[in-house]
Amino acid sequence: MDNIMSKLRSLDAYPKINEDFYSRTLSGGLITLVSSIVMLLLFFSELRLYLHAVTDTTLVVDTSRGETLRINFDVTFPALPCSILSLDAMDISGEQHLDVKHDIIKKRLDTHGDVIEERQDGIGSPKIEKPLQKHGGRLEHNETYCGSCYGAETSDEECCNNCEDVREAYRKKGWALSNPDVIDQCKREGFLQRIKDEEGEGCNIYGFIEVNKVAGNFHFAPGKSFHQSGVHVHDLLAFQKDSFNVSHKITRLSFGDYFPGVVNPLDNVKWIQETPSGMYQYFIKVVPTVYTDVSGHTIQSNQFSVTEHFRNAEIGHLQSLPGVFFFYDLSPIKVTYKEEHTSFLHFLTNVCAIVGGVFTVSGILDSFIYHGQRAIKKKIELGKFS
pLDDT digits (tens, 9 = 90+) for 258-298: 998 899 999 999 999 887 778 899 999 999 999 998 888 99
Q: How many other C-beta atoms are found inside a 10 Å radius of the C-beta of residue 194?
A: 18
Report pLDDT for 369: 82
Report pLDDT for 286: 96
Average pLDDT for the chain: 80
Alpha-helical (H) ranges within the chain are 2-10, 26-51, 163-173, 184-189, 191-197, 344-382
Kind of pairing between the strands at 231-235 and 216-222? unpaired
* Banded model confidence at residue 139, pLDDT cuts 50, 70, 90: very low
Helix (H, G, I), strand (E, B) or coil at 150: coil
Report pLDDT for 368: 84
Lowest-confidence pick of 62-76, 106-120, 269-283, 319-333: 106-120
Cβ neighbors of 88 (< 8 A, separation 6 or more) are 96, 97, 98, 99, 100, 218, 219, 221, 225, 232
Beta strands per DSSP E along 93-186: 96-97, 104-109, 115-119
Cβ neighbors of 35 (< 8 A, separation 6 or more) are 358, 359, 361, 362
Q: How far apart are CA 226 and CA 101, in angstroms?
A: 16
For the segment 143-176, what is each residue's pLDDT rounded down to a tens digit? 566 788 887 787 777 888 877 788 778 777 767 6
* Banded model confidence at residue 99, pLDDT cuts 50, 70, 90: confident
* Banded model confidence at residue 126, pLDDT cuts 50, 70, 90: very low
Q: How many other C-beta atoms are found inside a 10 Å radius of the C-beta of residue 59?
A: 10
First to last CA, the chain: 61
Q: How far apart are CA 303 and CA 284, in angstroms?
A: 10
Report pLDDT for 42: 92
**Is residue 144 a contact partner of residue 157, using CB atoms and an 8 Å limit?**
no
Report pLDDT for 317: 45
Q: What is the pTM of this model?
A: 0.69
Domain spans in the chain, listed from the N-terminal domain onward: 24-53+342-382, 60-122+199-339
Q: How many other C-beta atoms are found inside a 10 Å radius of the C-beta of residue 242?
A: 9
